Amino acid sequence: MSTALNVAVLTVSDTRTIDTDTSGAFLEEALRASGHAVVDRQIVIDDIYQLRAVLSRWIADPGVEVVLTTGGTGFSGRDSTPEAVAPLFDKVIEGFGEVFRALSRDEIGSSTIQSRALAGLANGTVIFCMPGSTGACRTAWEGVLRDQLDSEYRPCNFVGVLRGH
């Protein structure tokens, strides 16, 4: 059986509520179905400092091992998730954005170049930032996250990194 992780989900949006947040709901359901504990789920407006405040609390909390964010990774308007999150990383996981864009190219064509999906480690917490659409969250979950958060996935996964195996 796969090791359960403690995961927080953050939706970055100026307009969504808990009732209209289909992307956050998808991630929460997918995590629970895989046996993980969702220890917190929040929605924050697309503001660099509010994003950093929530993420910093989670990064400092030893009870949060993984953070999944959805939204704010594009080029339009107030999209600022990469600018908010990247300075918090101790190590960048370059491969996440690369693999996510490769997978999403099959779904949305060249529009995938406008995705600024990113990931990294901060104080022993792994953070994955995805676009705000439910389809993008599904692509990231099915193509990368489900396996990388599974302790039984080989040859390697992030559970070993997080739990020191």
Total tally of structural domains belonging to the chain = 1
Residue 132 within any structural domain of the chain? yes
- Confidence (pTM): 0.96
End-to-end CA distance of the chain: 16
Tell me the pLDDT of the chain (165 aa) as tens digits: 578 999 999 999 999 999 999 999 999 999 999 999 999 999 999 999 999 999 999 999 999 999 999 998 998 888 999 999 999 999 999 999 999 999 999 999 999 999 999 999 999 999 999 999 999 999 999 999 999 999 999 999 999 899 875
Residue 20 within any structural domain of the chain? yes
Residue 164 within any structural domain of the chain? no
Expressed as residue numbers, the domain containing 25 is: 11-157
Give the model's pLDDT for residue 165.
Answer: 56
Interior/surface letters 8-29, b for 16+ CB within 10 angstroms, e for the rest: bbbbbbeebeeeebbbbbbbbe
CATH assignment of the domain containing 85 = 3.40.980.10
User: What's the CA gap between 26 and 114, in Å, rounded?
Assistant: 22
